[in-house]
Amino acid sequence: MRAAAIALFGLLAAFPAQAADQFVFDQAERDAILLHGPWPPAAAPDPSNRASGDPAAVALGQKLFFDIRLSRDNDRSCATCHIPAQAFADGRPRGEGIRPLDRNTIALANLQGRRWYGWDGKSDSLWAQSLHPIVDERELAATGALLRDRLAPEHDAVFGPADDDETFLVDIAKALAAYQETLVTPRRPFDDFRDALERGDAAAMAAYPAAAARGLKLFVGRGQCAVCHFGPAFSNGEFDSVGINFFLGPDGVDRGRHGGITALRASPFNLLGRHSDDDTRSTAGPTRHVALLHRNWGEFAVPSLRGVALSAPYMHDGSLATLADVVGHYSQIDLDRLHQDGQLILQPLRLTDGELADLVAFLETL
């Protein structure tokens, strides 16, 4: 049995009596909260990308991110869908490239050091993930040869001449990745609260909204949200099926993680391939060992929750318009829509209206 709730370092006397309860956490809750920081994390260059952390490559990547020359028809760029003023997402349920896309446009932030990228994790590096929209016929529909014709001087100034069109394309993607690695969400009220909790600063803790503190208690406690939304980025970096529809019209299906692993293994751009700049393949362990499982069907990435209030709508298909809708989905989750070999801890939370509002208040502090 868990230890009885502990008063925070005997400092609760500093709180008004009516405000104290939401700031009392037992040891397990306190430990879980502290695991969500500190923030921001230390930057660590990607060993598979020789452009990672290189100021010249970052500058080139930033320029190209907004450059329509990356598209076949010179009419769109990365920023057409990843709009800076909208958390580098687009606010639509599903992306709109040259043709409609099947999934929600993921907000771009805190991308460095992840194991997998994209809703299905088909990429094991940020540079590989940055390459896919360039060549996808539904998105920018360009080719390595086309980019080489257009961008050779800028490319060569940073990377030197490329041996072939494919390498040229990868280099461009590596510059884009180097830029995107610099997109880090700022410290938020939760971070101040978390750090105050760690050092036992009751006065600083009291500045955190009471509703958010109650929501945090649910998040790390009864809600079990922190099991998947784990760590400083509020994601364990993996995939799950959470009862969201993955059929595409009457005849199609979005395989989710199952398709992602299949594509990863077939890709010449994965970390085991020739384009990785890490001769020791030091970060390729997950690629080497990832398992293709039946339950991967309909699984999608556990997204980071940092900055989540800015990136509506939600879920892989953008089917939930607001954070209240997301919390409501988990509160009333339909177990019949989950895999039988899926996550058993997903159970309807049946939250009260007040609890739903508290969880949303907490998410808005991330």
Partner 1 sequence: MRAALILGLSLAAGPALACGPGTVVGPQGGQLAYRVDPAPAVGRMVAVEVTACDGLALDGFDARMPQHGHGLNYRPRISAEGPGRYRVEGILFHMPGAWQFVFDVRADGNARRLTTDFAVTR
Q: What is the contact surface with partner 1 in residues (CB under 8 A)?
A: 31, 35, 115, 226-228, 230-231, 236-239, 285-286, 288-291, 293, 295, 341-345
Q: Residue 9's closest CA among 199, 218, 234?
A: 199
Q: Specify the DSSP element, H or E, that contains 253.
A: strand 252-253
Q: For residue 227, with 0-12 CB atoms within 10 Å meaning exposed, 13-18 middle and 19 or more buried, which class applies?
A: middle
State which residue, 168 or 234, has the beta carbon closest to partner 1. 234
State which residue, 173 or 242, has the beta carbon closest to partner 1. 242
Q: Minimum CB separation from partner 1 for residue 238, in Å?
A: 4
State which residue, 283 or 319, has the beta carbon closest to partner 1. 283
State which residue, 69 or 337, has the beta carbon closest to partner 1. 337
For residues 350 and 360, the answer to whether their CB atoms sit within 8 Å is: no
Q: Minimum CB separation from partner 1 for residue 258, in Å?
A: 12
Q: How far apart are CA 247 and CA 270, in angstroms?
A: 27
Q: How far apart are CA 261 and CA 157, in angstroms?
A: 35
Q: Minimum CB separation from partner 1 for residue 291, in Å?
A: 4
Look at the chain and count its residues: 366
Amino acid at 311: S
Q: Minimum CB separation from partner 1 for residue 123, in Å?
A: 16
Q: How far apart are CA 61 and CA 134, in angstroms?
A: 13
State which residue, 172 or 226, has the beta carbon closest to partner 1. 226
Name the one residue in this structure whose structure tokens are 């989950």: 338
Q: How far apart are CA 173 and CA 65, in angstroms?
A: 10
- Please give the structure tokens belonging to residue 364: 């808005």
Rounded to whole angstroms, what are the CA distances from 62 to 100, 144, 175? 25, 19, 8
Amino acid at 47: P
State which residue, 331 or 343, has the beta carbon closest to partner 1. 343
Residue 300 DSSP SS3: strand
- Which residues neighbour 66 within 8 Å (Cβ) at sequence distance 6 or greater? 77, 78, 79
Q: Minimum CB separation from partner 1 for residue 32, in Å?
A: 8
State which residue, 332 or 347, has the beta carbon closest to partner 1. 347
Q: Minimum CB separation from partner 1 for residue 345, in Å?
A: 5
Q: Minimum CB separation from partner 1 for residue 124, in Å?
A: 13
Q: Minimum CB separation from partner 1 for residue 55, in Å?
A: 29
State which residue, 91 or 286, has the beta carbon closest to partner 1. 286
